Structure 1
Amino acid sequence: MADHKHGEMDVTVQEKTFDGFISMVTKATVIIIVALVLLAMING
C-alpha cells in the first residue's frame, strides 16, 4: 500500500466542480428572488 502524504493530491478538478456548483446555486437563487419579486409586484 502506498504511503499517503497530506497535500499531494491534485484537486483542480474538484475545485472546478465546486466553483461550478456555487455559481449555479448563486444564479438559481438570483432567478428565484427575481421571480418572487415579480410575482409580488403583479399580485400586489
Structure 2
Amino acid sequence: MADHKHGEMDIRDQEKTFEGFMNFTQWSIIAILLFLIFLAVFAT
C-alpha cells in the first residue's frame, strides 16, 4: 500500500469546480435580490 503524503494531490479540477459554484451562487443571489426589488416596486 502506498504511503500518503499530504499536499501532493492535484486539486486544480476541484478548485475550478468550487470557483464555478461560487460564481454561480453569487450571480444567483444578485438576480434574486433584483427580482425581489422589482416585485417590491412594481407589484402593488
Instruction: Give TM-score scaled by structure 2 length.
Output: 0.95
Q: CA RMSD in A?
A: 0.8
Name the structure 1 match of 2:28: 28
* Corresponding position: 1:38 with 2:26: no
Unaligned 5+ segments in structure 1 are: none
Unaligned 5+ segments in structure 2 are: none
Instruction: Give TM-score scaled by structure 1 length.
Output: 0.95
